[in-house]
A and B are shown apart, each in its own frame.
Chain A
């Protein structure tokens, strides 16, 4: 459903992301893990077509992002780090607009908006102006915007960042529902980025860990659990390994100097 082939993003000499490969099957929920600045957002932006990769390509629901960018974008629902909202619009008119630009046919638009509002429990505020909503509600409108055209692929960039614990629980439950196979709607394939490990534990089946722009680990959660390691241990191991390597290298050099 989502295939990244050697995705790379370089800014001159600065390498943001290099050689990211992965393949995600229909219905999978994958957690994109990594410390801040590891390249999670950059990778997601390349998948959504916001940033063109310097190298490599991606295939979304069978559409290459270079050969057929419009069809690839149509297949994606994307919630960026800050939900892309027009504060002066009402929830209803905003979602209707998003449905329009995402090519939902006119006759299905009303139903698509109603469905997105129902799934994100926004019924009570649908006629309210977005600027007056609380942060938690805005995040939900952001999610509603991502699912309004019922896309096969959902890309969520830190969907719970900056929310209070109660809101975090709500949003997680919501994402859980969106990916539950029992739903009558399209089963979404989801990538969500986070640096909260508990979140991955709670909703994902698989983890892709990115560190310093490279893929450091790609494994299913059950596999990791069978190894008897907690996510916390793994995260620490993979994201500090280089630092440890540098430190031990320095120690070796110092020892050589003494000898």
Chain B
């Protein structure tokens, strides 16, 4: 446990002494700001149109009309930013030669893998914190549902953590950071496309496969959290995804020894 903290601490410190962390965080804050303003403008427009249909106005609120859109847009931003954050976690150790330091130190491979994941998880938490600040603004001017807002933020957090775990595998397997970035991006996009594949590809011929694909897709589990449903099966899904990708990362790091 102590070693996990050491590895995580170094990882975070390295992120923050280089401009990468600040660059990513400010880029994210700017993008979040742009999406927030756009979603807000759209919300106002729809609200204006709904004035003519008061009965529909009851179903329209800040959570479903604004925050939902806002959080979904940011999940797409995650898709591109997180591979950039995780690409170096293992690939840089290989190019620095520090892999040899880590593997000859009295650390277990789990210490290394968990330490690096914790660092990534904390970074994502900071990003979700930025999102939370935007959502918080709404509480001053309106009355969104707190529970639904929090469950949406939780969805973003778990989605980000899953992406970090996937990025870790790519970085451990790839030789260079750019390859790690591309692998992560391809895997994440594929995960996003799974429901589509299930719908149009195999739903007719193999319903069992389609169900599995749908279950594996990140999108559906994210959607249910956005809708304010904190279901244990969705939480179990994220735990399973993160756990399995960490286990694969561990095997990939260890494989250096057996090559």
A positions within 8 Å CB-CB of B: 45, 48-52, 70-71, 73-74, 76, 78, 80, 82-89, 93, 97-98, 100-103, 145
The answer on a CB contact under 8 Å between A86 and B98 is: yes
Partner of A73, one of B17, B98, B105: B105
User: A103 contacts which chain B residues (CB < 8 A)?
Assistant: 106
Query: Nearest CB to that of A72 among chain B residues?
Result: B106
User: B258 contacts which chain A residues (CB < 8 A)?
Assistant: 52
User: B13 contacts which chain A residues (CB < 8 A)?
Assistant: 89, 93
Q: What is the bound-complex CA distance between A103 and B105, given in angstroms? A: 9
User: B99 contacts which chain A residues (CB < 8 A)?
Assistant: 84
Q: What is the bound-complex CA distance between A83 and B101, given in angstroms? A: 9
Binds A, one of B3-11, B119-127, B194-202, B233-241: B3-11
What are 13 residue pairs bridging A and B, where the CB atoms are less than 8 Å apart in the complex? A50-B100, A76-B104, A80-B101, A82-B97, A84-B96, A84-B98, A86-B96, A89-B10, A97-B9, A98-B105, A101-B3, A101-B6, A102-B105
Cβ of B89 to closest chain A Cβ, rounded Å: 13
Query: Nearest CB to that of B100 among chain A residues?
Result: A80
User: Contacts A52-B258, A86-B96; is A78 near B6 (CB within 8 Å)?
Assistant: no
Q: What is the bound-complex CA distance between A97 and B5, given in angstroms? A: 11
Q: What is the bound-complex CA distance between A26 and B221, given in angstroms? A: 60
The answer on a CB contact under 8 Å between B101 and A88 is: no
> Is B26 positioned at the interface, with any CB of A under 8 Å from its CB?
no
The answer on a CB contact under 8 Å between A102 and B97 is: no
The answer on a CB contact under 8 Å between A85 and B98 is: yes
User: Contacts A73-B105, A89-B14, A93-B13; is A80 near B6 (CB within 8 Å)?
Assistant: no
Q: What is the bound-complex CA distance between A98 and B10, given in angstroms? A: 10
User: A93 contacts which chain B residues (CB < 8 A)?
Assistant: 13
The answer on a CB contact under 8 Å between A87 and B96 is: yes
User: B103 contacts which chain A residues (CB < 8 A)?
Assistant: 49-50
The answer on a CB contact under 8 Å between A98 and B101 is: yes
The answer on a CB contact under 8 Å between A100 and B6 is: yes
Q: What is the bound-complex CA distance between A80 and B101, given in angstroms? A: 8
- Binary per-residue interface labels of chain B (126-168) against chain A in the complex, 1 for a CB within 8 Å, 0 otherwise: 0000000000000000000000000000000000000000000
Top 9 nearest A-B pairs (CB, nearest first) are A84-B101, A82-B97, A84-B98, A48-B104, A74-B106, A100-B6, A80-B100, A70-B106, A101-B105
User: Contacts A88-B17, A100-B6; is A71 near B100 (CB within 8 Å)?
Assistant: no
User: Contacts A85-B98, A101-B6; is A52 near B257 (CB within 8 Å)?
Assistant: yes
Query: Nearest CB to that of A11 among chain B residues?
Result: B259
Interface size on B, residues (CB 8 A): 24
Cβ of B68 to closest chain A Cβ, rounded Å: 39
> Is B232 positioned at the interface, with any CB of A under 8 Å from its CB?
no
Cβ of A49 to closest chain B Cβ, rounded Å: 6
> Is B18 positioned at the interface, with any CB of A under 8 Å from its CB?
yes
Cβ of A132 to closest chain B Cβ, rounded Å: 13
Cβ of A236 to closest chain B Cβ, rounded Å: 32
User: B17 contacts which chain A residues (CB < 8 A)?
Assistant: 88-89
Partner of A101, one of B14, B96, B106, B257: B106
> Is B34 positioned at the interface, with any CB of A under 8 Å from its CB?
no
Cβ of B211 to closest chain A Cβ, rounded Å: 42
User: B106 contacts which chain A residues (CB < 8 A)?
Assistant: 70-71, 73-74, 101-103
The answer on a CB contact under 8 Å between A101 and B98 is: no
User: Contacts A51-B257, A80-B97, A80-B100; is A88 near B105 (CB within 8 Å)?
Assistant: no
Cβ of B251 to closest chain A Cβ, rounded Å: 15
Query: Nearest CB to that of A87 among chain B residues?
Result: B96
Q: What is the bound-complex CA distance between A85 and B9, given in angstroms? A: 16
Partner of B14, one of A74, A82, A86, A98: A86
> Is B107 positioned at the interface, with any CB of A under 8 Å from its CB?
yes
Query: Nearest CB to that of A74 among chain B residues?
Result: B106
The answer on a CB contact under 8 Å between A101 and B7 is: yes
Query: Nearest CB to that of B92 among chain A residues?
Result: A86
The answer on a CB contact under 8 Å between B257 and A85 is: no
The answer on a CB contact under 8 Å between B97 and A49 is: no
User: A71 contacts which chain B residues (CB < 8 A)?
Assistant: 106
User: A73 contacts which chain B residues (CB < 8 A)?
Assistant: 104-106
Cβ of A128 to closest chain B Cβ, rounded Å: 13
Q: What is the bound-complex CA distance between A224 and B104, given in angstroms? A: 34
Partner of B257, one of A50, A86, A145: A50
